[in-house]
Amino acid sequence: MSLPPDYSNEISALNREILKAQPSDVLQFCANFFLRRLESQRAEFLLSQQHSSQKGGGMAESTFPGNNPFGTSPSSGIITSGMHRLEEEEENDTIASPTASSFPRTNMENSQANKSGEGSFGNFGGFQASTNRSQGLKSQPPSAMDSQSFPSNYNMNRRTSVSAESLNPTSSLHDNWTPPYHQKTSEQQARLRAAVSGNFLFSHLDDEQSAQVLGALQEKPIPTKGIKVIQQGDVGDYFYVVENGAFDIFVNKSGKLEAGPDGLGTKVGSVGPGGSFGELALMYNAPRAATVTSTEPSTLWALDRVTFRRILMDSAFQRRRMYEGFLEEVPLLSSLTPYERSKIADALETRKFPAGTTIIKEGDVGESFFILESGEAEVYKRGIDKAVNRYKKGDYFGELALLNDAPRAASVISTTEVKVATLGKDGFQRLLGPVEGIMRRNDPSKLGMDDGVDPLAKGR
Amino acid sequence: MATAVVHKLLHHDRSNRESSSQPNQSSPPAQNDQDMAAMDRDRDEEKHMLAQWEVKRPLSPAQIAVDTNQKMVGHSSRVLRQEDFELIKTLGTGTFARVWLVRLTNPKDGDQNKVFALKILRKVDVIRLKQVEHVRNERNVLAAVAGHPFITTMVASFQDTDSLYMLLDYCPGGEVFSYLRRARRFNEPTSQFYAAEIVLILEFLHEKEGVAYRDLKPENILIDAEGHLKLVDFGFAKKVDNRETYTLCGTPEYLAPEVIRNTGHGCAVDWWAFGILVYEFLVGQPPFWDQNPMKIYEQIVEGRVRYPSAMSPDARDLISGLCTVDTSKRLGNIKGGAGAVKAHSWFRNIDWDALYHRKVQGPIVPHLRGPADTRNFDEYEPEPEGREEYGPEMRERWDDCFTDF
């Protein structure tokens, strides 16, 4: 007669443990092993119990964090009171996620009520119709948005990964890519600027990026009413701003536009001049969350994802390479590895000053170091009535501040509008440690010296 | 049937054979019974070697670093084919891949019970969804890291005309995700244990391999038979070294602000996601959430995390260090790297060395009926019929991309 399979499995698991641990007290080891097995099996069992007998209880936060018997740590046993509480814990796993076929109706209505026309809607960027749980969608209680309470309506489903087209900056340099440019009147530009100003994807752009993005928006006439500009469930590649005309927004509960008279689903809002829609398409290709149709002849501005992301990427890429190039010229930092240089380049902050600004002042305590990115500046020293030096693009100053707290040796005043890249001593040390340690690397007298003994060495 | 086999063999034989185990490298494709038999012997030997692999793991960091062609796992096999594996059950599906529990066909004595997870990717879908680059990255990264105690081991990879295959070790405990959702949240010791194993993974990937993982979440972390973690799905992993990269990828709730803003990103995105993960372990849901994905992204770039009042100060301090929008201030990315994370007081009870050597007992040891038990995996729909074919034109255009597979 053969042994039961469960038994064999336990024994072979025990054998593995014994082989690994080589215990001196075999009996105690085996006893401990089986106790642990019992403990984890029991915890699993209790969990499945709890899962099958859900109760509303409002205890969700009160058991946080330490008394959940699930996943007992090596040191803790099963706690009876914990089990009791677990049974009362609230489970709320019916809400759809951003990856489920839902549509944020409340948000939509809110923004429609807000008639400022600031491009405020467009918040139905998209969804992934991979899971179909919209039936179980509960309306969100207003208290969930309240700053003190935690939303207990989180989606419990597996979340789908997302990705956009792979963008490669090096090849774009070879291609000599320049973003498309579509002529606009200054009024049109101003309207577009206002339309996207409330959108966080645009609010971080610098002037140059912003000009490129606005230039790339392409006019798209919609000749008649009834044209479906985007269709729910379709792939999304474009973001739209309304120049003139009007559009209605429909959502079909099935998650996609269907054939037949009711195929559009329910009207959930409308959008007019200055409004925008479809911005999730600027991030990645997600199915459209709604259908948008024209209600009269209209004009749209359209921007596609690859153009948008490439504008952002190219300017970020060029700026980083420029900063790395500047940093290579600073003797104080000559011993940085390329990796360290790229970290510092990443941490440099861009700032702009109008002409006539005193960027650093002689005698002040120096805290930051500057690289002149564009424009010009002059250097003055007390007692000398004309400039002792001139700085132009790529020149750097104030680098001794990284080394010590000595007062600034001169003043630097901008003669034109200037852009500088700057980094504080604290920022530098946070990333790489004290600059003294880095300088010491190419000091031959320190070669062979144990870093651990040297109080100035970079601690690692 | 027999002709089909011969055809497959010929196809493989032509494709750039470089395996040193094959003595007659320059000889023409197998033409007679003798060559055929030699080929079959190779395959049987390889299958047996793969089946016995588990005995020898985990590898030390130095052993992992060995060139992938020399290492006993993670190589590109020129002899294996789908017929060598019997598909038992689907373990998971993605948009262009399906993972199966498999066992060897015609196993040698002692290999009968050995099971693997076989990830099958159809070339057509990989191309259609523009994932060629990601799939290549995945195979190369998995080959490079094979043998790490907490990363799924790619035992071998191979391909045929239509599909790419990655043979992975089977992790019978299922996803941390399932345990977390059932428990609603983990207590602090459980969270610390899992978080600590993840720190070891990230330390290894970033500092030894220069790899950014880019899709950290409970769904991608499995529990093995002994209760330790295995990181799976390296579809977005990329060797970045000290250069930043720009392609947006990840999971909405876990995306780092610099990914959303497209200013270039690197390994620091994993530390951000790690902060989100620890938060989700302790609270039961990630800190940034909305039904509308754009609202999630708006919250992320804003970067204000709210903590439940019951969260311990140490946990709060760790998460706020990790979930810092400014990468030059983000824990894990600043001076000290992963070491600074390990030194955080929330991890003060962790013995890092014992943890790497799997000497610490995991909080959940899955209860299993044998090595092929699939009770910890969900049921999945069968594969849809009538997929697009990988025709001659596509082969002409794309097959070069897959030669190393």
Location of structure tokens 């390889």: B46
pLDDT of residue B54: 63
pLDDT digits (tens, 9 = 90+) for A157-204: 889 899 888 887 755 555 678 889 999 999 999 999 999 988 899 988
pLDDT tens-digit profile of B215-273?
A: 999 999 999 989 999 999 998 999 998 789 999 999 999 999 999 999 999 999 999 99
Task: Please say whether the dihedral angle defined by the alpha carbons of residues B160, B166, B172 and B178, taken in this order, is positive or negative.
Answer: negative
**Element holding A341 (H helix, E strand):** helix A338-347
Cβ-Cβ contacts under 8 Å, A71 against chain B: 179, 183, 186-187, 189-190, 363-364
DSSP per-residue codes, A12-48: HHHHHHHHHH--SSHHHHHHHHHHHHHHHHHHHHHHH
Q: Which of these ranges, A138-142, A296-300, A363-367, B100-104, has the smallest mean pLDDT?
A: A138-142
pLDDT of residue A460: 35
Residues 6+ apart with CB under 8 A from B252: A98, A99, A159, A162, B293, B296, B297
CA distance A159 to chain B (A): 7
d(CA B265, CA B125): 27
Task: Answer yes or no: is B335 a known binding residue.
Answer: no
Predicted pLDDT at A215 = 94
- The predicted pLDDT at position A455 comes to 35
Nearest-10 crossing angle of helices A338-347, A305-328:
120
The answer to whether the Cβ–Cβ distance between B247 and A167 falls below 8 Å is yes
- Interval B88-132: pLDDT, tens: 999 988 777 899 999 988 888 878 888 999 999 999 888 888 888
Is A320 flagged in the annotation as binding? no
Q: For A114-170, what is each residue's pLDDT tens digit?
A: 333 333 333 343 333 333 333 333 333 333 333 344 555 677 888 989 988 888 775
Tokens of B116: 């693997």
Is-contact B342 B318, C-beta < 8 A?
Answer: no
The mean pLDDT value of chain B amounts to 85
| pLDDT per position as a tens digit, B137-179 | 899 999 999 889 999 999 999 998 889 999 999 999 999 999 9
Contact A164 B183 (CB under 8 A): no
- Of residues A75, A54, A294, the one with CA closest to residue A156: A54
A104 neighbors A126 (Cβ within 8 angstroms): no
CA distance to partner chain B, nearest, from residue A380 (Å)? 32
Query: How would you label B18-50 residue by residue, b for 16+ Cβ within 10 Å and e otherwise?
Result: eeeeeeeeeeeebeeeebeeebeebbbebbbeb
Which one-letter amino acid corresponds to residue A69? P
Quick one: pLDDT at residue A109? 39
Q: What is the pLDDT of residue A153?
A: 64
Contact B177 A346 (CB under 8 A): no
pLDDT at A145: 35
Beta bridge partners of B104: B85
Q: What percent of chain B has pLDDT over 70?
A: 87
Look at A229-233, A239-243, B2-6 and tell me which has the smallest mean pLDDT.
B2-6
Tell me the pTM: 0.76
Q: Which residues of B touch A422 (CB under 8 A)?
A: none
Q: Tell which of A51, A131, A200 to mutate to test the B interface (max B CBs under 10 Å).
A: A200
H-assigned helices in B81-218: 123-128, 132-145, 176-183, 188-203
Could you tell me whether strands B154-159 and B75-76 are parallel, antiparallel, or unpaired per DSSP bridges?
parallel
pLDDT, average across residues A354-361? 94
Mean pLDDT of all residues belonging to chain A: 75
What is the per-residue pLDDT across A22-79, written as a single tens digit (0 to 9) for each?
888 888 888 888 888 887 777 666 655 554 443 333 333 333 333 333 433 333 333 3
CB nearest to A164's CB, from B247, B301, B366: B247
Taking each continuous run of H as one helix and of E as one strand, the counts in chain A are 12, 17
H-state helical runs in A69-225: 80-88, 105-113, 169-175, 186-196, 200-203, 207-216
Show Cβ contacts of residue B383 under 8 Å, excluding neighbours closer than 6 positions.
B90, B98
Q: CB-CB: which of A147, A158, A430 is closest to B219? A: A158
Closest residue on chain B to A16 (Cα): B226
pLDDT of B121 reads 93
The more confident residue out of A110 and B183 is: B183
Per-residue pLDDT for A415 more than 50?
yes
Quick one: pLDDT at residue A223?
95
pLDDT band at A305 (very low <50, low <70, confident <90, very high): very high
